[in-house]
Structure 1
Amino acid sequence: MCFTAPQVFESSIEYLVKTIVTVLSSSVKCDVMRLGGEEILQVGGLIPSRDCVGVMEACADILGKLYGHGKLSCSLLYAVTRVAFSASCFQHASRSAPVLDVMSIGGWSPALSKLFFHFPKEICFENQEKPLRLLFWYLDPLILKHDLSQILQEAIKRPLLCVNMELYEKVEWRSMIICLVLSPAMFIETRALLHNWFLATGMASVLQLQIQLTSLVLDVISRPMWWGISAEVGLKLPFSHAYFPYNQKILRVLAGALSCGGLSQLVHSISKAMAMNFPDWFYFASGLLFSEKTAQNSLHSNCTFGAAETESHFEGPPCSAAARYIAWILNPIGESHQDLLADCLNKISGSLVLKQFDKNKKAPVSYKKKLKKPKFHNEDDTALEEYGCQTIRLWLEEFQDVYNRYCNGIVNSSASCKSRTSSGFALQQNVLFRRISLGILIGYSNYVGEEGCELLLHYAATGTILDSPDAQNPGLKHRNRDSDWQEDSITSNKNFSRKEAMAGACLVFDFVDVTESMSSTLFESEECAVDFICRVKLRAGKYLVKRVKQLIQLKIDEDDGDLVSRDLYSRLVRWKHQGQDVLQGYKDLDDAIDALKRFVEESRPPLEV
């Protein structure tokens, strides 16, 4: 019949594999068994659990020989995985109650690892079946840990990577997000796992990944087709409360507009782990700590709107609710400790205002007035910046000292608190506590010049306070130009490392991203929202450029230097156009972008012909 030998072999392989798939698929069913006069509903597979290991190993050997047969490989892999997923560890040998087969438990991991080796990166929804990755997660939770670890390791290795974009664009990572959406139980487990990792390590990258996974899962629910999910599957996705089963009302507040009433509700009935996934509220509360202390401020007046305002549960001014919210996030171990920390935050935020008025001897510039006109430099700014550096430095020292004394008080209060502080609470200080100071740049920005902004950003990024040039060089006369002071403050710090430069750049990128997210609900007009973003960018821009220049000077020549350079170039170009370009014509910024662009183009591998 004019068939060649290869065609015959291919056809034989195809029908043999299809036969195996059919047998495996038919072993999984839902049926009613009759034993004596009773009926028993049997759900699962006919292949017992103790035999599944052998079946998986045999199928893994076949998969290893099916190179080039993509569709056949996927069908066989899905069939054997479904059999393993449906296998029961109980036996129904007679009318008696089900008996647990202890010998069938364990020994699955090596066989699953062999199957996982042939796992496809992409996700498909043929016949609306559950994705393979999700079945593997159910079979072995260590695979879920492995998948999360891969993302986390990449984020740590590439600190400037925009993880949100990568989670969407990278096929394998996007399939993980979709699997989390399809299984609310797995999403809950993932959040709990990342939260425990954060408490154990205190790493900002772990917290950031937890935040991004939460935001993306909610995004998939709201627009599934944009993520490549068909309308038929999208209509069957659970509602958002399925992913936060015990905090439905709180979820509506956290995912809604920023407002004082919403903050009051969060303080009244707050949930630690979920609240940490919504950084807008943390920064909003930090800004409210300082903005309400001023005579006139835009943040306080603009945030008092929304439906949540009518359901306020917290008695007291919004700044007190903000202090209570932050205290709960930092230290959820006891109400008395929260009271103490909230009181400390209220006092320390008020001390900055007193220092500023004592120095300037005049009323502050109206923040609201500045927003009406997108003009960022005027005579009042010059006067304020003259005192901003020393004021901010003194306040940061007091800020850190108050918190250290507070932590020592908790450690000494009881032995049980001591173990908690050493494991999780003290580590959270490094990531969350020092970022409270960035609330000054949100609610109190007209008092902070570029010098003070540099101090705040550097402290939030590294936990250290930059020394003044006068302290290290007593003979150095006071300079009037901000750029001279900034250059001196950096060059005088001998131990300034690549790690610190990277941390500073990452902080500015993330902070402006959060500011952009906040602006959409804080301000009623788009013009005011853009001006708000631009104000933050203007204050932080030169600090960012100096961090980028330092990274370029260090040649980013460590492992994965090419990837870091590409990430830095991508983030810097995106940052420049957020809101609007406030550093237009600033030569150092343009030079940094051009240098990174040349480096990326030179390191790009040639196209294959």
Structure 2
Amino acid sequence: MSSLPELTGVFSSLASRIGTRNLETEIDDQSDDVLVAALNQILNLSEVPRVRVLDTALSLMCFTAPQVLESVIDCSVNTIVSVLSSSLDCKVLRSGKLEVLRVGVSISGHDYLEVMKSCADVLKQVNEHGILSSTLLHAVLRVAIMTTRFGYSMQLTPILNVQPTNEVIPVFSKLISYMPQEINLENQGLQTRLILWYLDPQNLVKDVSQILQDAVGRPFICLNEELYENIEWRSIIICLAFSPLMFLETRALLHRWFLLMGLASVLELGVELVSMVLDVLLRPMWWGLSAEIGSKLPFSYTYFLHKHQLFRILARPLSCVQFLELVHNIKNTVSHSRRKLKHVATTSMVDHKSAWAMAMNFPEWFYFAALLLCRVKFGDSNICGVNQDNQPLTSSFSANAAWYIAWILDPVDESVCGLLAEKLENLSSTLINKHVSSYEHKKLNKPKPNACQSLGIRSWLEEMEDLKTIDIKNNVMFRRIILGVLIGCSDAIEEEGYELLLHYVATGMLLQSAESQNVGLKHKRPHHEFFDKCNRKELVAGACIVFNLTDVAEKISDSIIETRAVAADIVCKLKLKVIGYLLKCVKRLLLFGINENSDILIKDLHRRMLRWRHQGKDVFHGYKDLDDTINVIACKLF
């Protein structure tokens, strides 16, 4: 900007000329032009002399050139958005008595390709100026999804063509590249992600697979907490809640992956996605949604179009009455399916529309069934009720529990399911008899038989592996039966028995217990020596299974126990039994060298250990071994 005296001189000369113009009939136009040019040069930032009345006026009102440019861009973008929005069209096409409602845009599919290319160029230009035009991107994508893909004949018969052309795909990819990395929870941001999923379903696959990949790479995260706290993941959950169609597609996608790979991580992600979406429907404001947006969420039945009646039972709180209703419903469904598919391939019995797929999304009932195999008593009440003599009603419930678990393990082969149910009832008898024996010894103040339950379960596991009716080693759900048993028989199983069974659930390998070894041997191999030979993967799996066991116990006890204090005591009792195994896994894991993923692994482990310590309530105050282990983990973070 020029100096103040120079600016004052130009203004004085211009004012003099304008005043003289009213008195004289002839004016030196050329001199006026020179003065205006000088004024424009002084007031504008550009050094090139230009006569622009608009720039001069805006400069006199203290607007700078960048502000003017930004306003021009905003007005241009808003104009394009308005034009695109006005192209939305809804009309009735008539031919004689036939009528068809067409909802779309007035732009044809071929012409819209050019519109998309032009808008992509505009987005590129505004991004280069540091302006992220999410409104323009949203408008372009909204019109793209509304562009009709139907062709109409004279008889108004729509012909759908859903195959994207080779020209459209790169344009979509270019538009997606301008999408902001951080998706806010406002309505427009959510709609933009949903539109991208509709335009190209591969975007949904990429989002879900990225979550799965991150979850597998971070085994110690608490997945349900991470799905809420991670803004990117939370936006995906909320988008699934706003689109029942995309939710159904995601469930089907993860179920297909689970059938192909059989990975527990895939199953866990599917379970948590279902749980989180239902939680959004239940309390939208806790997820950061306004009351207005939350009121637009659909009803739950729209997310479970297949086997909706079964969903209503599975979504209820755990109870024996509801469990019997669940088993009755599934038996009727399975019987009907087998009659219908007698001469057809049975793949539909395990596809994403099946009752089995629905039950797999609610694993709490599987663990509850494992509890019913035992004579479980929490506090002063039995979960399966008592008869007139105050004796637990276990027989009918254990039989139904055995059938339900067997059906989860093999939903296709009826004969195998029956054989598995029989073996599970044998396990139930073993657990109940051992539990009674243990209880009688305790009542008579006699020493409890050491690890009586674990040895019985060990024999049963060896017998099951010899059957070879199902692939026990690779069946994710089989080993999880033990988790329910560990919760239900916590009073009768010693710490060493927990160690033996937890290691089996984590790795599929049975450790040799001290009681099962020949007493004449001079050199016994304690369990801790075996840990020295475990690799990193086995140790991580061992620690994770302890965290999972505690989470399951907490969730089930909160559901079936009315008193929170009793539920907390159940979790605490379990923690006291498993802490030895957990510390062995963690201490050995900390001895391994640092690799590229160690930082995030140690950070997640530290957070998970602190969370685990306070689940139920902290029963380890002054427990030096646990304190020292947590401090060692904390030191590795710095």
Fold agreement, TM-score > 0.5:
yes
Whether the 8 Å contact between 2:496 and 2:513 is mirrored in structure 1 is no
- TM-score under structure 1 normalisation? 0.82
Question: C-alpha deviations, 1:237-271, integer Å up to 9, x for none?
Answer: 12222222333433333222221111111111232
Question: What CA distance in whole angstroms lies between the structure 2 residues aligned with 1:428 and 1:220?
Answer: 36
Residue 275 of structure 1: aligned partner: 359
Q: Secondary structure at the match of 2:327?
A: helix
Whether the 8 Å contact between 1:258 and 1:303 is mirrored in structure 2 is no
Q: Is 1:401 aligned to residue 463 of structure 2? A: yes
Whether the 8 Å contact between 2:255 and 2:357 is mirrored in structure 1 is yes
Shift of 1:357: 7.3
AA matched with 1:112: F
Matches within 5 A, 1:108-187: 108-120=168-180, 121-126=182-187, 131-187=191-247
Question: What CA distance in whole angstroms lies between the structure 2 residues aligned with 1:132 and 1:522?
Answer: 41
Q: CA 1:200–1:435 in 2, change beyond 3 Å: closer, same or farther?
A: same
Matches within 5 A, 1:68-467: 73-92=133-152, 97-99=157-159, 105=165, 107-120=167-180, 121-126=182-187, 131-270=191-330, 271-291=355-375, 297-298=377-378, 301-304=381-384, 317-352=396-431, 363=440, 365=442, 383-384=448-449, 386-388=450-452, 392-393=454-455, 395-407=457-469, 426=471, 429-467=474-512
Question: What CA distance in whole angstroms lies between the structure 1 residues aligned with 2:518 and 2:206?
Answer: 48
AA matched with 1:291: R
Residue 561 of structure 2: aligned partner: 523
Question: What CA distance in whole angstroms lies between the structure 1 residues aligned with 2:109 and 2:132?
Answer: 25
AA matched with 2:81: V
Question: What CA distance in whole angstroms lies between the structure 2 residues aligned with 1:207 and 1:103?
Answer: 31
Shift of 1:39: 6.0
Structure 1's unaligned 5+ residue stretches are 306-313, 367-377, 409-425, 479-484, 603-609
Matches within 5 A, 1:581-592: 581-592=618-629
Question: What CA distance in whole angstroms lies between the structure 1 residues aligned with 2:162 and 2:227?
Answer: 40
Q: Secondary structure at the match of 1:467?
A: coil
Indicate the larger mover: 272-281 or 395-404. 395-404
Shift of 1:174: 0.7
Q: Which has the larger radius of gyration?
A: 2
Residue 63 of structure 1: aligned partner: 123
AA matched with 2:505: A
Question: What CA distance in whole angstroms lies between the structure 1 residues aligned with 2:550 and 2:252?
Answer: 27
Q: Secondary structure at the match of 2:505?
A: helix
Question: What CA distance in whole angstroms lies between the structure 1 residues aligned with 2:129 and 2:553?
Answer: 49
Indicate the larger mover: 45-54 or 139-148. 45-54
Shift of 1:159: 0.5
- TM-score under structure 2 normalisation? 0.78
Shift of 1:491: 1.9
Question: What CA distance in whole angstroms lies between the structure 2 residues aligned with 1:573 and 1:79?
Answer: 46
Shift of 1:66: 2.2
Whether the 8 Å contact between 1:393 and 1:455 is mirrored in structure 2 is no
Question: C-alpha deviations, 1:556-590, integer Å up to 9, x for none?
Answer: x2222111111111110011011112233222210
Whether the 8 Å contact between 2:369 and 2:402 is mirrored in structure 1 is yes
Identity, % of aligned positions: 45
Indicate the larger mover: 36-45 or 176-185. 36-45
Whether the 8 Å contact between 1:34 and 1:40 is mirrored in structure 2 is yes
Question: C-alpha deviations, 1:373-408, integer Å up to 9, x for none?
Answer: xxxxx976x633x344xx625632531432441426
Q: Secondary structure at the match of 1:456?
A: helix
Question: What CA distance in whole angstroms lies between the structure 2 residues aligned with 1:495 and 1:181?
Answer: 46
Whether the 8 Å contact between 2:150 and 2:158 is mirrored in structure 1 is yes
Shift of 1:206: 0.8
Match of 1:499 among 529, 537, 544: 537
Whether the 8 Å contact between 2:384 and 2:394 is mirrored in structure 1 is no
Q: CA 1:150–1:451 in 2, change beyond 3 Å: closer, same or farther?
A: same
Question: C-alpha deviations, 1:139-182, integer Å up to 9, x for none?
Answer: 11111111000000000000001121111111111111111111
Whether the 8 Å contact between 2:531 and 2:588 is mirrored in structure 1 is no
Question: What CA distance in whole angstroms lies between the structure 2 residues aligned with 1:11 and 1:561?
Answer: 49
Q: CA 1:43–1:582 in 2, change beyond 3 Å: closer, same or farther?
A: same
Question: C-alpha deviations, 1:524-558, integer Å up to 9, x for none?
Answer: 32221111111111111121121111221215x22
Shift of 1:110: 2.5
AA matched with 1:146: K
Q: CA 1:169–1:158 in 2, change beyond 3 Å: closer, same or farther?
A: same
Whether the 8 Å contact between 2:258 and 2:267 is mirrored in structure 1 is yes
Indicate the larger mover: 141-150 or 30-39. 30-39
Q: Secondary structure at the match of 1:172?
A: helix
Q: CA 1:69–1:229 in 2, change beyond 3 Å: closer, same or farther?
A: farther
Q: CA 1:157–1:401 in 2, change beyond 3 Å: closer, same or farther?
A: same
Shift of 1:197: 0.9
Question: What CA distance in whole angstroms lies between the structure 1 residues aligned with 2:301 and 2:451?
Answer: 49
Whether the 8 Å contact between 1:330 and 1:428 is mirrored in structure 2 is no
Question: C-alpha deviations, 1:164-216, integer Å up to 9, x for none?
Answer: 11111111111111111111121122112111111111111111111111111
AA matched with 1:303: I
Q: Is 1:26 aligned to residue 86 of structure 2? A: yes
Q: Secondary structure at the match of 2:373?
A: helix
AA matched with 2:278: L
Q: CA 1:299–1:427 in 2, change beyond 3 Å: closer, same or farther?
A: farther
Question: What CA distance in whole angstroms lies between the structure 1 residues aligned with 2:601 and 2:367?
Answer: 27
Residue 490 of structure 1: aligned partner: 528
Q: CA 1:109–1:406 in 2, change beyond 3 Å: closer, same or farther?
A: same
Shift of 1:508: 1.0
Q: CA 1:201–1:351 in 2, change beyond 3 Å: closer, same or farther?
A: same
Q: Which has the higher contact order (CA 8 A, sep 6+)?
A: 1
RMSD across aligned C-alpha pairs, in angstroms?
3.2
Match of 1:541 among 579, 594, 615: 579
Question: What CA distance in whole angstroms lies between the structure 1 residues aligned with 2:167 and 2:462?
Answer: 52
Whether the 8 Å contact between 2:472 and 2:478 is mirrored in structure 1 is no
Question: What CA distance in whole angstroms lies between the structure 2 residues aligned with 1:473 and 1:73?
Answer: 77
Question: What CA distance in whole angstroms lies between the structure 2 residues aligned with 1:108 and 1:157?
Answer: 35
AA matched with 2:440: A
Indicate the larger mover: 462-471 or 258-267. 462-471
Whether the 8 Å contact between 1:133 and 1:179 is mirrored in structure 2 is yes
Q: CA 1:336–1:112 in 2, change beyond 3 Å: closer, same or farther?
A: same
AA matched with 1:302: N
Residue 568 of structure 1: aligned partner: 605
Shift of 1:228: 1.1
Q: Secondary structure at the match of 1:325?
A: helix
